[in-house]
A and B are shown apart, each in its own frame.
Chain A
Amino acid sequence: MSDAVISVRGLRKSYGEVEALRGIDLEVRQGEIFAFLGPNGAGKTTAISVLEGYLERDAGTVEVLGEDPAGAGRDWRARVGFVLQECRMEPLLTVRETLEMYAGYYRRHRSVSETIELVGLGEKADERAGKLSGGQQRRLDVAVALIGDAELLFLDEPTTGFDPSARRAAWQVVEGLREIGKTVLLTTHYMDEAQALADRVAVIAAGEIIAAGTPDDLGGRREAETVISFRVPDAAAAGARAAVGGDWSGSNGRLELRTGEPTRALNELTAWAIANGVDLGALEVARPSLEDVYLELTGTDAS
């Protein structure tokens, strides 16, 4: 693809006996927000470190912004911004000073004040970094990644350890990056984060991409069965099972029906319920969430 910003074929990396990456293929396009989703130890950080040029690969071809990151020089580094998984900024410099310092490393950089506003630290601009909360420090980290006006940003677990409101704020920052046309590759182990932010998601487990697509498409979710669940008195359960065909299961008085034809199944079910005077308590109709798909894919027990 001509507008591919990142292009990876057959990427492999081992640490001694342990195969951290076992043949990764990947393409990220200009302006896209792409998420690596996977449990801890799946290989997300290893993969992103190779793309950032911090880690040497064992095999495969990697092109980032048209260059092999393993041998890329200063000009390439000026076009790429990073948020590393672990980085504490200088606690004795203020937010503004930190950004002024990093800005000085680039021939062309964004405005310091605008960048502070973009990450929502306007009121903290003259506060020392050591006095910021964890979430604010992370946002400063993102601001440092942005200051060089890079085309491509790597965000390695940008919201790990955040409280819910800090996560929302960080998501807004990433949305802001989309608006200014940046390409973003982020890693996360939060399903909702991938769903909220990413245009496309690749699920990594045990060093392999086991599924890739838009959050909606992932794992064939569009074709997946719908789950209808409700409560009925035990005496009525057998009647319900007999009335509607499908894959039934149940526990603790709650019945669950998996079906590929939810419209027909619901019609039959409610018809049976009205005819027999049974109330379908706490009735729910749900498609499997990205979380269910993810847990199924990564082999973690969903229940």
Chain B
Amino acid sequence: MSAAALVAHQFRFEQKVFWRSPAAVFFTVMFPVIFLLLFAGLFGNGEIEPLGIDAANYYVPAIITLAVVSATLVNVAMRMVEMRESGRLKRMHGTPLPTWAYVAGRICNAFVVSVLMVVIVTLIGRVLYGVEVPTTTIPALVVTLVVGTFAFCSLGLALSMAIPSEQAAPPITNFVVLPLYFISGVFAPETEIPDGVLTVASVFPIRPFFQAFLTAYDPLTQGAGFDWGHLAVVAAWGIAGILLAVRFFRWSPRHG
């Protein structure tokens, strides 16, 4: 089979598994939608003063950030730990399937789910809260999504190497992402977060990723909406993630 066919083959089965997994569907698809309804409902159409945009307009890119990080980093970390600890990864290594084809199939799955979430969240924002669909910044949106998928998938791979067991995967993953959502302004608006905390958050990848989305969705944005500075930070984290993942990659279960 050609390389592309191998990746497509793996992608097909990754999709089946994703949509059949109640935990994956709930946390990646349902959870962000519930949060969007909750936050936009709570804060309504009130303007977030210094930013000059509606709360709903703020939360659409915020919840997209949440959904994409969930579809990539969280999902990849949990699945890789499960694959490794169940012995399936080692078994797969015993077949002629190249490692990169397997990982690529998984990243394609994360990307497709991410695109779907961007569409769902954008549509809910438009229909329920009148948040405008950012037509002029679509190229910027796509680039942000591609860079983010790559970066957070590779960080998910790297994180999976640090997780010792399947039982430890949900708590460790949540321990990593939940505080970052909070300090990055994904849950509470960034205007409520002290500047010092935001500065710390800017060092980590979730905050700049959110800012890149926010730029694309901000009706006040002039031009194409590419946020290269923040995307560079996200990409740098992605490269660090790949290096770590390659350095610490292991096929065999960690126990025994």
Chain A interface (Cβ within 8 Å of chain B)? 52, 54, 74-75, 77-78, 80-82, 84, 86-90, 92-93, 97, 101-102, 104-107, 144, 148
Contact = CB atoms under 8 A, between A and B. Distances in A.
A86 B251 contact: no
Contacts of B10: 101, 104
Given A87-B88, A89-B88, A77 B94 contact: yes
Given A92-B16, A97-B16, A54 B98 contact: no
Given A87-B87, A107-B1, A93 B97 contact: no
Given A54-B252, A104-B9, A107-B1, A75 B87 contact: no
B59 to A, nearest CB: 32
Contacts of B95: 77-78, 102, 105-106, 148
B256 interface: yes
A75 to B, nearest CB: 7
Contacts of A106: 95-96
Interface of B: 1, 6, 9-10, 13, 16-17, 20-21, 86-88, 90-98, 251-253, 256
Contacts of B20: 92
B98 A74 contact: yes
Contacts of B252: 54
A-B pairs with the 9 shortest C-beta distances?
A87-B87, A105-B97, A74-B96, A88-B86, A92-B20, A104-B9, A105-B95, A78-B96, A82-B94
Contacts of A101: 9-10, 13
A54 B90 contact: yes
A97 B139 CA distance: 37
Contacts of A107: 1, 96
Contacts of A77: 94-96
Nearest to B20: A92
A105 B92 CA distance: 9
A80 B16 contact: no
A223 to B, nearest CB: 41
B96 A75 contact: yes
Contacts of B13: 93, 97, 101
28 contacts: A54-B94, A54-B251, A77-B94, A78-B96, A81-B94, A82-B94, A84-B87, A84-B90, A84-B91, A87-B86, A88-B86, A88-B87, A92-B16, A92-B17, A92-B20, A92-B21, A93-B13, A93-B16, A93-B17, A101-B13, A104-B1, A104-B10, A105-B92, A105-B95, A105-B96, A106-B96, A144-B91, A148-B95
Most buried by B among A74, A81, A84, A148: A84
Nearest to B87: A87
Contacts of A104: 1, 6, 9-10
B256 A86 contact: yes
B96 A82 contact: no
A176 to B, nearest CB: 21
Contacts of B97: 105
Most buried by A among B10, B13, B86: B13
Nearest to A77: B96
Contacts of A92: 16-17, 20-21
B91 A82 contact: yes
A43 to B, nearest CB: 15
Nearest to B92: A105
Nearest to A106: B96
Contacts of A80: 94
Given A86-B87, A107-B96, 15 more contacts: A77-B96, A78-B95, A84-B91, A87-B91, A88-B87, A90-B17, A92-B16, A92-B20, A93-B17, A101-B9, A104-B9, A105-B6, A106-B96, A107-B1, A144-B91
